[in-house]
Amino acid sequence: MAEEKVESSGFKVVDRRAFTSEGERVSGQSEKEQDSREPESPVSARPEAAPPAEPEPEVEDSETSENFAMLVSYLSTTAMFQLGLLPGPGGEYMPSDLANGSRTIDLLEVLQEKTRGNLTLQEAKLLEDVLYELRMTFLEVQKRATKQK
């Protein structure tokens, strides 16, 4: 172990401590020399390192907007069907299910709350308008159901 083979890894380690392990000043260096030296940055020690690549966006903004609009449309259509305002697959109208219609509207409200500040102006307006229309429609259907009883 007296002689060890040292491989060159492309950077150099320089001991810049002002004192030895015994607490004595290292010979040949004054305090001013110690303070005036700036440590080498790791980047300058490895000139062959390439700058990190910029992360690529996962999805285009237009595609994200379309997917968001599709989600809002799906949930609003489901709510309209549950409120008895849209025909089913066979063309027949189902009786209104106010409890599930209310739950679907609540889901859209949760979506609005959780995405607040992260939507484009168009997406926020779409969600706000759909929620307004569904809330007003829900009240009308609820009024009709109360009158019929």
Query: What secondary structure does DSSP assign to 33-91, as a single string?
Result: HHHH--PPPHHHH-TTPPPPPPPPPSS-HHHHHHHHHHHHHHHHHHHHHHTT-SB-TTS
This prediction has a pTM of: 0.57
Torsion of CA 18, 22, 28, 33, to 10 degrees: 10
- SS3 state at 93: strand
Mean per-residue pLDDT pooled into runs of 10, the chain (149 residues): 61 74 70 53 51 50 87 95 88 89 97 94 95 96 89
